[in-house]
Amino acid sequence: MANVQLFQRTQQALPLPAALARNAEGAPAYALTPQHQLAQYAATGCLNTTFYASAEAQLATVLELCQAVEPAFIAQTAVYCRERGYMKDMPALLVAVLAGQGAAEFPQAFRRVINNGKMLRNFVQIMRSGAIGRKSLGSRPKKLVQAWLNGASEQALLAAAVGNAPSLADVVKMVHPKPQEAWRAAFFAWLIGKQYTASDLPPALAAFEAYKLDTARAIPEVPFQMLTALPLSAHDWAQIACQGSWQMVRMNLNTFARHGVYDIGGMPELIAAKLRDPEAICRARVFPYQLMSAYMAAGENVPAIVRAALEQALEASLRNVPQIAGKVVVCPDVSGSMSAPVSGFRGSATSSVRCIDVAALVAAAMLRKNPDAVVLPFEHSVVQCGLGADDSVMVNAARLAAIGGGGTNCSAPLLRMNSRKELADLVIYVSDNESWIDATRSGATATMGQWNVFKQRNPQARLVCIDISPHATTQAMEREDILNIGGFSDDVFKIIAAFAAGRLDSAHWVGEIAAVDMAESC
């Protein structure tokens, strides 16, 4: 009889596909499908220079990908990334591409994606730039822009009137909307400097014109940028803070400090209450990293109660982080390339939030909802970092983000777990996937090799690779047990939960996008 100890049956490893592509570091990687690449760029790209690619290179890649996929998927990607990823530039670009193609899906995509004045101006700017091969709007786009202008509320038009390149006045001059209401006709005339009947002005704009003549009146409910050229007192600024939207308040905490708002009794408490209001946070569709950005940017003159409210708001914004059954391991990339701004380099407007901050935030958030989770930060190898499950997300994220530096070795966490024969049900990477320390000469990537070893010990385990930068390759090839997903909205957490529970189909994230119903209203 054969020796059963020597010839015992072992778990059959899945075949390893060869890594035939190269990442930005020139190391072996797996190319994503054109649909997946387009989704990745749309969910993470802001058309700004990143650590590995210029804004021009990103634009060229997106336009090339749009030639390789069907217009229906371009439209679904635009809608998904606008409505569920809250992106701005990329969805507007994709809608412009559809316009340039004369695609039947263009009108539906326009109505779903171009849902405020900023998006309208983005779309017009892209169309007029010549980036998609033309420098005019064309008849269908022009009619849709006219329809937006003739259907927008006064507040939407006022918000749209803030900003240039192009300004809303430029857009109105370009498309010549023919309003049916007297107030709208007066608004457009006021906007482009033509004569209008003062009594026809809509309420907020009429109040603004009256306030310019008599600043003793109440502050009109218009975008505060329209008021900044006027002599405003601390109490005026306090009223602006009270009237402002949640996002406006978040973005102007230091401005309020400079203008003495916090010196007025009760104002720090009022602003703090607005910031931590769960319903307001939900309506604002805020990214957790935007709250981290506000917290990091808050100067010493911003009261402690307001800073504490930002932390509370961050916790509230993470409502969609799942609690996952089984053992969870989170692997945030803390290598040097992750020091790049998450939304790219934009000169003086560059975000202070880096890719490493977002990776740390995702890891800390998962730990918050899954206290038994293990966090394995990595660069050349796994880095030790003391985290507390009971500590705030902001505190743990700051600890992780403080590591930083070194090369990228995506296989390091799996190698460590394999060497210690550790068990886990879900492994989550948050990285830019530009691994090169573990580059192989041929065959599969080191990450895939280590994952296959891990799977022999954990046959039901699943791997999630969250990429927060616009790239076209991955270190772990998409398959039944591997999910590649891009972005950093809370929708990422929802999809992770569905994948961990086995509720995604074989198309995974691309399948979620392809399931977008273009007939639905936003």
Q: What is the C-alpha to C-alpha distance for residues 176 and 143, in angstroms, rounded to an integer? A: 10
Q: The tokens of 37 are what?
A: 């690449």
More confident residue, 388 or 184: 184
For residue 277, name the pLDDT band (cuts at 50, 70, 90): very high
Q: What is the C-alpha to C-alpha distance for residues 222 and 342, in angstroms, rounded to an integer? A: 31
pLDDT at 9: 40
For residue 346, name the pLDDT band (cuts at 50, 70, 90): low
Q: What is the C-alpha to C-alpha distance for residues 452 and 444, in angstroms, rounded to an integer? A: 10
Give the strand order in the sheet containing 482-486: 374-375, 328-332, 426-431, 462-467, 482-486
Write the pLDDT tens digit of every residue in 94-105. 999 999 999 999
Question: Is a pLDDT exceeding 80 seen at residue 5?
Answer: no
Residue that the structure tokens 């400090």 belong to: 257
DSSP run (H or E) holding 85: none
Question: Is a pLDDT exceeding 90 seen at residue 481?
Answer: yes
DSSP 3-state assignment of 321?
coil
pLDDT at 470: 83
Q: Residue 381, class by beta-carbon neighbours within 10 Å (0-12 exposed, 13-18 middle, 19+ buried)? A: middle
Q: Are the C-beta atoms of residues 58 and 47 closer than 8 Å to each other? A: yes
For residues 499-512, average pLDDT? 91
pLDDT at 6: 37
Average pLDDT, the chain: 90
For residues 115-133, average pLDDT? 93
Neighbours of 416 (CB within 10 A): 16
User: Residue 8 to residues 5, 418, 420, 422: CA-CA distances in angstroms?
Assistant: 6, 20, 22, 21
For the chain, what's the residue count? 522
For residue 121, name the pLDDT band (cuts at 50, 70, 90): very high
Q: What is the C-alpha to C-alpha distance for residues 382 and 437, in angstroms, rounded to an integer? A: 13
pLDDT at 49: 65
Strands in 327-366 per DSSP E: 328-332
For residue 78, name the pLDDT band (cuts at 50, 70, 90): very high
Q: Are the C-beta atoms of residues 306 and 270 closer than 8 Å to each other? A: no
DSSP run (H or E) holding 58: helix 55-68
For residues 472-500, average pLDDT? 90
Q: What is the C-alpha to C-alpha distance for residues 439 and 411, in angstroms, rounded to an integer? A: 10
For residues 327-352, average pLDDT? 82
More confident residue, 338 or 263: 263
Question: Is a pLDDT exceeding 70 seen at residue 288?
Answer: yes
Q: Is the dihedral of CA 14, 16, 21, 25 positive or negative?
A: positive
**Beta strands 473-474 and 28-31, pairing class:** antiparallel
Q: What is the C-alpha to C-alpha distance for residues 316 and 307, in angstroms, rounded to an integer? A: 14
Highest mean pLDDT among 6-15, 311-320, 363-372: 363-372
pLDDT at 412: 97
Domains of the chain (ranges plus CATH)?
21-27+320-514 (3.40.50.410)
Q: Are the C-beta atoms of residues 432 and 475 closer than 8 Å to each other? A: no
Q: Residue 517, class by beta-carbon neighbours within 10 Å (0-12 exposed, 13-18 middle, 19+ buried)? A: exposed
DSSP 3-state assignment of 22?
strand
pLDDT at 226: 93
More confident residue, 246 or 289: 246
Q: The tokens of 444 are what?
A: 């599969």
Question: Is a pLDDT exceeding 90 seen at residue 240?
Answer: yes
Q: Residue 335, class by beta-carbon neighbours within 10 Å (0-12 exposed, 13-18 middle, 19+ buried)? A: buried
Strand partners, 332: 430
For residue 13, name the pLDDT band (cuts at 50, 70, 90): low
* Number of continuous H segments (helices) and E segments (strands) in the chain: 24, 8
User: Residue 519 to residues 72, 86, 91, 242: CA-CA distances in angstroms?
Assistant: 12, 19, 17, 38
pLDDT at 3: 45
Write the pLDDT tens digit of every residue in 191-235. 999 999 999 999 999 999 999 999 889 899 999 999 988 889 999
CB within 8 Å of 28: residues ≥ 6 apart: 19, 20, 21, 22, 439, 440, 442, 445
Among candidates 410, 445, 426, 433, which has minimal Cα distance to 485?
433
For residues 295-317, average pLDDT? 91
Question: Is a pLDDT exceeding 70 seen at residue 46?
Answer: yes
Instruction: Kindly state the percentage of the chain with pLDDT values over 90.
Output: 64
pLDDT at 51: 64
Which amino acid is present at 277? Answer: D
Q: The tokens of 406 are what?
A: 């070194």
Q: What is the C-alpha to C-alpha distance for residues 353 and 344, in angstroms, rounded to an integer? A: 10
For residues 366-373, average pLDDT? 89
Among 230-244, 273-287, 341-355, the minimum mean pLDDT is found in: 341-355
Among 179-188, 318-327, 446-455, the minimum mean pLDDT is found in: 318-327
Question: Is a pLDDT exceeding 50 seen at residue 12?
Answer: no
Write the pLDDT tens digit of every residue in 418-467. 999 999 999 999 998 899 999 988 899 999 999 999 999 999 999 999 99
Q: Residue 169, class by beta-carbon neighbours within 10 Å (0-12 exposed, 13-18 middle, 19+ buried)? A: middle
pLDDT at 210: 95
Give me the helix-helix angle, 304-317 and 393-401, nearest 10°. Answer: 90
For residue 490, name the pLDDT band (cuts at 50, 70, 90): confident
Q: What is the DSSP letter of 503?
A: -
More confident residue, 160 or 350: 160
Q: The tokens of 265 are what?
A: 């009794």
